Structure 1
Amino acid sequence: MNSKSFLKISVQGFNWMFLGKIIQFIMQFIVTVVLARLLTPTDFGIIGAAIIVITLVEVLSMAGVGPAIVQRSQIKTEHLGTGFTIAVLFNFVFSIIIYFCSPIIASFFNMVDLNQVMKVISVIFIIRGFGVVAEFLLQRNLNFKTLALINMGSYFTYSFIGIILASFGFGVWSLVFAQLSQKLTSTVLFIFCQPHNKHFKIYIKEAKELLYFGGGMILAKGFNQLALQGDNLVIGRTLGSEALGFYSRAYQLMVMPANLFGQVMDKVLFPVMSKFQDDNERLTKWFLSALSLLTVFISPIMILFLIYTENIVVTLLGVQWLEIILPLKILSIGLLFRISYKISDSLVRAKGAVYKRANIQFVYAFLVIFGAYLGHFWGVTGVAVTVTIALSINYFLMTYLAMKLLNSKWFWLLKQYYKPFILFIVVLCLFKFIKESNVLLTNNTSLELVIAGIIIFLFYLLLVAFTPQLLLDSNSTKLLNRIKYKTSVFK
C-alpha cells in the first residue's frame, strides 16, 4: 500500500474515530452533569476505587494478546485461536481472584461498601475475555468506522442504564451496572462485527510469539496503568472516599479531552505505524506531523480549562463541587503532556521496543505514587501538583526514546511546535479578551462558555476539513529531506 493510500485510510479513520469520540464526549458531558446531581462524592469515590483495581488487573488479564495481534507483520489462524484461548482463560482466572479478594481490597481502601461492589463488578473480566481478539483485529484491519460505532453504542448503553438507575435511587450500584452493561454491549458487537477462529486450543509456537511481545506490553501497560491510577490509589488510601470522589471528578473533566484526542490518535497511529515499522522515513513524517497536529487540536481546550475553570465546575457539576476548581486548573496544565506522550507511545510500540517502554513506565509509576504520597499532605491540590510534574517528566522520557528509535534530533521536533505555539498565544489572548469583556458588560458565566465553545467548534470544523494538508505539512517534508541527506552523507 502506497503513502497516499495509507494517508487516505488514516485520515478517514481519524475522522471516524474523532466523530465517534465527539459524540461520546457529548454523551459523557451530559452523563457527568446529570449524575453529579443524582449521586454523592462518596458514590463516585467507591466506584473510583473499584475502577482502579479493575483497570490495573485488566492489563494482566489480557496477557498482551490484543496489541501483539495488531503489531505482528504476519498473522495466522493459529495466532487468533491461541490468542482467543489465552484471553478467555486469563480473564476467567482474574475474575475469580478479584471475587475472592474483594474483602481485602475493601479493607485496603477502608471502604466497607466496596466489598460487594468488587464481587459484582468482577464479572466484567469474564465478559471482556471473549471480545479481546475481535476488538484488536478491527484495529489491525484499520476498520475504524466499526470501532467508532461500537464505542458510541456501548457508551449509550452505559449512559442509559446509569441515569435510569441513579434516578431510582440505586446510588453507587447505578454506576456498577452501567459499567457491566457497557462492557457486555461492546463485547457482543465486537464478536458480531469481526468473526475469527474461536477454537479453544493453544499452539505453543504461536503462543510464544504472542506472549514475547505481550510480556513487554504487560510490563509497560501495567506500569502505565499504575501511574494513571497511582494518584487515585494514594488518595483513596490516605484521604478517604470523599476526597477520592472530588479528585476523580476533577480528573475526569480534564481527561475527557485527553481521551477525545489522545485515544483517537493512538488507535489510528499504532496499527498504521505497525504496517511500516521498518521504514524510518515514513515513521518520522507521521510522528512529527501527528505531534504538531495534536498540539493544534488540544491548545484551545487547554486554554478553556485554564481560564474558565470556575465557570466549568459551577455550570457542569454545581456549587457542591467547588473544591475541585484549583486541582482541575493544575491538572489542566499537564493536558498537552498527557496527550502528546501517547504519540511517542504509539511509535515505540509499533517499533516493538516494548521493554524499553516498560522501563520508562516504571519510572513514571514510581514518580506518580511517590509524588502523590508527598502531595497528599497538602490535600488533593498537592497531589495534582506532583502528578503534573511526573507527567511532564514521562513526556520527555518517551519523546527521547521515540526520537532515538527514529535517529532524529530534538531540533527537528522543536520546529514542529513553533506554529502551534503561535496559535496557543493567539487563542489565549482571544479567550482572555472575551472573558474580560463579558465581566465588564454582563458578567454572565454561561454566556462566556457558550461563546468560547462556539469558537472552538468552528476551529475544529476547519481543522478536520484540512487534516490531510496538515499531515502533509511542508515542514515535515523539509525535515524528511534533511534526514535523507544526512543519512546519505554518513553511508
Structure 2
Amino acid sequence: MLRPQPVNETDATLAAAKAAAVDERRPSGNLALSIGSGYLVQVLAQATTLLTRVALARIIAPTQWGVFGEAVVIIGIVDTLRELNLTQWATSGRTTRYWRDLPGAIASTTIVLLLALVAAMPLLSRLSPQLPLTTAVLALTLLPRTWTLGAEAELNNRQRLFRLVAPQGLGALAFVVSAIVISAHFKTAWSLSVASVVQVSTYSAFLLWRSRREVFLRPRLDNAWRSLVSARDFVWLALAGVLLTQVDGLLVGSVAGATAAGFYIMASWLTSRLPFLVEIPLLRVMLPIFAAHRENRERLGAIFKRTAMSINYLEATWCFLLLFNASFVVGQLFGSRWTPSIPYVILTAVYPLLSPLGTVGWEVLRMTGRTRLVLWNLIANSIAFVVIGIGLGTRIGVVGVVIGYYVATLINSLVIFVLPSQIGWPTVLQVVREVAVLYVVCALPLVVVGLLPLPAAARFGIDLLLLGGIVLWGMRPLLPFVRNALAGRSE
C-alpha cells in the first residue's frame, strides 16, 4: 500500500530559496574601508589625469584640447543617457532582483545610444573636422563600461570598493604610458582618445576578473524593458539633468570655437578636481546609507549634516584658493600658452560656492523617495541654462554661457526649501549658517594676504597654509565617526 507523501515545493520555489540563500552569503565589507577605498580610487584617477594634463599641456595645442574636450562632453552625454541613473535605481531598491536586472538594462540602452551616436557623426564635423574621429575612438570606452557600471555600483552597495583599487592603479599606469607615448608623439585630439580607451579597457578587464564571483554580470535582456519602466523616475531625472551637467563645454565650443573651448574646458577641469575627488567617492558610499535611514528623520539629518559639511570644507577652500591664485596656478601647471584660461578659472571656481547644499540635498531626496521633486528641479535648471546660456552666449561669448550656468546653479540651491520635509528645518538652517561662516572665514584672510606686497609664490604658500588649517579645524567633528567606523560601529 502506498503511503501518502508530503507535498514538495515547486522547482521555482526551491530555486528562489537557493538564490536567496546564496545572496545572503554574498560578502559585504566595512564602511570605513569602503570610504577609504573610494577616496584612494579617486586619488589615483585624479593624480593620473593631473600628471598627464600637466605634461601634455605644454606639448598639445589648446585647439586640440578643445576638440578632445568636446568629444569628452559628447561621450559624457551618451554615457549619462545610457546609464539613466539605473545604478541609483538598483541601490534604492535594496533587493537582489534589481542587481540581477541591472546589467541587461544598461546593455540594452548602450546598444540604442551607440546606434544613435553613429547616426549623429556627420553632424559633429560641423563643430570641428577632427571631432567625429576623436569621438568615435573615445566611444569605444562605452563598451567595457557597460559591465563595470553595474559592478561598481553593486560593490559599493556591499561596501567592497577595495576591489576597485588595484584595477584603478593598473589602469592609471596604462593611461600614463599610453598618453605620453601616443599622445605626445601624434599631438592630436584622437591620440588622447586612444589613451583613454587603453585606460578604461585595462581597468575594466582587471576589475571584472577580480569581482566575477561577487557581482551579477550576465545581461538579462528579457527583463530590460521592465527594469526601465520600474526605474522611470530615475530615468526622467537623468534625461532632465543631462543638459546641466554635461554640455557647458560643448556650448562654449559652439559659440566661441574650439580654441576657446580648450581654454574653458581646461579651466573647468582644474576647478572641478577637488569636487570630483571629494563628492564622487563620498556620495557613492553614502547613497545606500541615505536609503537605509529614510524612515529615521533625526538620524538622516545628522548624516546629511556630516556629509554636506565635510564636502563644503574641502570644496570651499579649494575654490577660494583658485579665486585668489588663478594666475600663479595656471602659469606653474600649464605654462604661458594657457594664460587666456585664467579668467575662466576664476569664473568656474564660483560654481560650487553657489549651491553648497545642492548635490548632497538632492541625493538625500532621491534616495528617500522624493525623485519627482528632484526631477522638476533639474528641468528648471536645464531650461534656465539652455535659454540663458544660448541667448547670452551668442551675444557675449563664453561669459554668457557662464552666466547661464550661474543661474542654473542658483536654482539648484532651492533644495534648502525642500529638505526640511525630510530632515527638519533646524538641521538645514544650522548647515546654512555654518556654510556662511565658512565662506567668510575663507575669504577674509585671503583678502588681507592679497593686499600685502608679496611675490605670487609666497602669497600662494601663505594662502595654502591658511586654508589647510581651516580644513583641519573643520574636519574635527568627523574624527569620532571615523574612529567608530574603524572600530566596526559605523552606520
TM-score w.r.t. the length of structure 1 is 0.83
The CA distance in 1 between the partners of 2:176 and 2:476, in whole Å, is: 30
How far is the alpha carbon of 1:132 from its aligned partner? Answer: 2.4
Structure 2 contact 172–199 (Cα < 8 Å) conserved: yes
How far is the alpha carbon of 1:241 from its aligned partner? Answer: 0.9
How far is the alpha carbon of 1:113 from its aligned partner? Answer: 1.2
Aligned to 1:383: 401
Matched, 1:415 2:436: no
Aligned to 2:307: 290
Aligned to 2:5: none
Structure 1 contact 131–187 (Cα < 8 Å) conserved: yes
Matched, 1:66 2:87: yes
Sort the Cα spacing of 1:285 and 1:471 in 2 relative to 1 into closer, same or farther, 3 A. Answer: farther
Structure 1 contact 41–242 (Cα < 8 Å) conserved: yes
Aligned to 2:388: 371
The CA distance in 1 between the partners of 2:264 and 2:40, in whole Å, is: 28
Sort the Cα spacing of 1:462 and 1:407 in 2 relative to 1 into closer, same or farther, 3 A. Answer: closer
Aligned to 2:457: 446
The CA distance in 1 between the partners of 2:392 and 2:67, in whole Å, is: 21
Amino acid at match of 1:167: A
Structure 1 contact 150–190 (Cα < 8 Å) conserved: yes
How far is the alpha carbon of 1:314 from its aligned partner? Answer: 1.6
Matched, 1:36 2:57: yes
Aligned to 1:75: 96
Matched, 1:230 2:230: no
Structure 2 contact 34–156 (Cα < 8 Å) conserved: no
How far is the alpha carbon of 1:462 from its aligned partner? Answer: 6.4
SS at match of 1:416: helix
1:35-184 correspondence runs (5 A): 35-76=56-97, 79-107=98-126, 109=127, 111-184=128-201
Amino acid at match of 1:431: L
Aligned to 1:361: 378
SS at match of 2:247: helix
Matched, 1:426 2:444: no
SS at match of 1:38: coil
Amino acid at match of 1:75: T
Matched, 1:258 2:269: no
How far is the alpha carbon of 1:248 from its aligned partner? Answer: 0.7
How far is the alpha carbon of 1:465 from its aligned partner? Answer: 6.7
Sort the Cα spacing of 1:283 and 1:151 in 2 relative to 1 into closer, same or farther, 3 A. Answer: farther
Amino acid at match of 2:433: Y
How far is the alpha carbon of 1:218 from its aligned partner? Answer: 2.4
Aligned to 1:310: 327
Q: Please identify, of 242-251 and 287-296, the stretch whose mean Cα deviation from structure 2 is larger.
A: 287-296
Aligned to 1:17: 38
How far is the alpha carbon of 1:417 from its aligned partner? Answer: 3.7
The CA distance in 2 between the partners of 1:420 and 1:283, in whole Å, is: 19
SS at match of 2:129: coil
Aligned to 1:476: none
1:246 corresponds to which of 243, 263, 281: 263
Q: Please identify, of 51-60 and 9-18, the stretch whose mean Cα deviation from structure 2 is larger.
A: 9-18
1:377-423 Cα deviation digits (max 9, x unpaired): 22223322331232122122x3333333x0622x5312224344434
How far is the alpha carbon of 1:461 from its aligned partner? Answer: 5.7
Sort the Cα spacing of 1:133 and 1:419 in 2 relative to 1 into closer, same or farther, 3 A. Answer: closer
How many residues are paired up?
A: 452
Structure 2 contact 351–409 (Cα < 8 Å) conserved: yes
The CA distance in 2 between the partners of 1:319 and 1:122, in whole Å, is: 32
How far is the alpha carbon of 1:244 from its aligned partner? Answer: 1.0
TM-score w.r.t. the length of structure 2 is 0.83
1:107-152 Cα deviation digits (max 9, x unpaired): 3x2x111122223222222222122221110111122333455445
How far is the alpha carbon of 1:464 from its aligned partner? Answer: 5.6
Aligned to 2:237: 220
Please list every run of 5 or more consecutive structure 1 residues that lacks an aligned counterpart in the other structure: 1-7, 473-491
Structure 2 contact 175–196 (Cα < 8 Å) conserved: yes
Sort the Cα spacing of 1:47 and 1:184 in 2 relative to 1 into closer, same or farther, 3 A. Answer: same
Structure 2 contact 59–187 (Cα < 8 Å) conserved: no
How far is the alpha carbon of 1:245 from its aligned partner? Answer: 0.9
Aligned to 2:316: 299
Structure 1 contact 61–94 (Cα < 8 Å) conserved: yes
Larger radius of gyration: 2
Structure 1 contact 230–372 (Cα < 8 Å) conserved: no
1:280-322 Cα deviation digits (max 9, x unpaired): 2221221122222322222221210111121112222222222
How far is the alpha carbon of 1:328 from its aligned partner? Answer: 1.8
RMSD, aligned α-carbons: 2.8
The CA distance in 2 between the partners of 1:67 and 1:451, in whole Å, is: 42
The CA distance in 1 between the partners of 2:281 and 2:225, in whole Å, is: 29
The CA distance in 2 between the partners of 1:294 and 1:182, in whole Å, is: 28
Structure 2 contact 43–277 (Cα < 8 Å) conserved: yes
Please list every run of 5 or more consecutive structure 2 residues that lacks an aligned counterpart in the other structure: 1-28, 484-491
The CA distance in 1 between the partners of 2:298 and 2:122, in whole Å, is: 53
SS at match of 2:72: helix
The CA distance in 2 between the partners of 1:32 and 1:447, in whole Å, is: 25
Sort the Cα spacing of 1:89 and 1:419 in 2 relative to 1 into closer, same or farther, 3 A. Answer: closer
Structure 1 contact 17–264 (Cα < 8 Å) conserved: yes
* Sequence identity percentage: 16
How far is the alpha carbon of 1:458 from its aligned partner? Answer: 5.8
Amino acid at match of 2:279: G
Structure 1 contact 131–190 (Cα < 8 Å) conserved: yes
Sort the Cα spacing of 1:458 and 1:213 in 2 relative to 1 into closer, same or farther, 3 A. Answer: farther
Aligned to 1:4: none
SS at match of 1:168: helix
Matched, 1:185 2:202: yes
SS at match of 1:130: helix
The CA distance in 2 between the partners of 1:176 and 1:338, in whole Å, is: 32
1:274-289 correspondence runs (5 A): 274-289=291-306
Amino acid at match of 2:267: A
